[in-house]
Amino acid sequence: MHHLNCVKIVTPMHDDVIGHCLLIEEDDHLLLIDTGVGVKDVESPNERIGNELIELAGFQFDMEITAFQQIQKLGLNPAHVKDCIVSHLDADHTGGLADFPNATVHVSAEELINFYSDNPRYIESHLDHNPTIKEYGISDEQWFGFEARKVKSSLKTEIYLIPLFGHTLGHCGIAVEWEGKWFFHIGDAYYLRAELEDEQNPVGQLAEARADDNTRRLESMEKIKTLMKEHPEIEVFGYHDRGEFAKYSVESPMVS
């Protein structure tokens, strides 16, 4: 399992927002969880993302942070990425999908409906390459008290989409069992772990403003808090928190 940072976002509030993607390597197969900014985004940002969203979100473009280049740097073949799982379909999570055109995209059914509902938050060009999409609807299975949707990928590794709705209407976390341990990537259920402890955290206001359903977002955060308390053995981390990423990566920590 490799932890890759595939996003660079600079905002007035935070000048070092990242995108914590996971690359799972199993024999010759690669699976990517969230995909960050892609090669095509770096090549033609205005066409792919549009100036308005670039300015609003604070996207920075750098070929070196794309998952595609980082996979090559690891000595692996990007063509071996057979599956991409996405927590949700916001542009900072989907940009890399087009770099792996033969990979199946795994996403919740609710998220796909939201994506094609003219919700202005999404960038439809990120699915213009027409990938094979596997969507996952409501399930009876459970994972530590959460509804769990088993991902049917080409890997043997056990992976579930875990509904954590609110940020978007179909936003999910991704639970991965790796070497006897559970890793729970909670996507954008929080932006910064500090939000769990401090309801007044200013990032919480941004998260509220960006949420499709803020009540459900707060419910999802409560469930994550309970899980962390009851199961400290589970590795829980989000997409945008540099501090959490530093724990798993060899990249040097943020210099403040």
Interacting residue ranges for Zn ion, rule: CB under 5 A? 92, 188
Count of residues for the chain?
Answer: 256
The residue among 41 and 188 lying less far from Zn ion, judged by its C-beta, is 188
The residue among 146 and 190 lying less far from Zn ion, judged by its C-beta, is 190
Burial 78-114 (b: 16+ CB within 10 A, else e): bebbbbbbbbbbbbbbbbbbbbbeebbbbbbebbbeb
The residue among 24 and 207 lying less far from Zn ion, judged by its C-beta, is 207
- Tokens in use for 69? 């280049």
Minimum distance of Zn ion from residue 91's CB (angstroms):
8
Cβ neighbourhood burial of 250 (10 Å; 0-12, 13-18, 19+) = exposed
Minimum distance of Zn ion from residue 7's CB (angstroms):
8
Dist CA 21 CA 13 (whole Å):
22
Minimum distance of Zn ion from residue 164's CB (angstroms):
13
Minimum distance of Zn ion from residue 179's CB (angstroms):
27
Nearest Cα to Cα of residue 6 among 55, 50, 57, 68: 68
The residue among 188 and 244 lying less far from Zn ion, judged by its C-beta, is 188
- Tokens in use for 36? 């960050």
Minimum distance of Zn ion from residue 142's CB (angstroms):
26
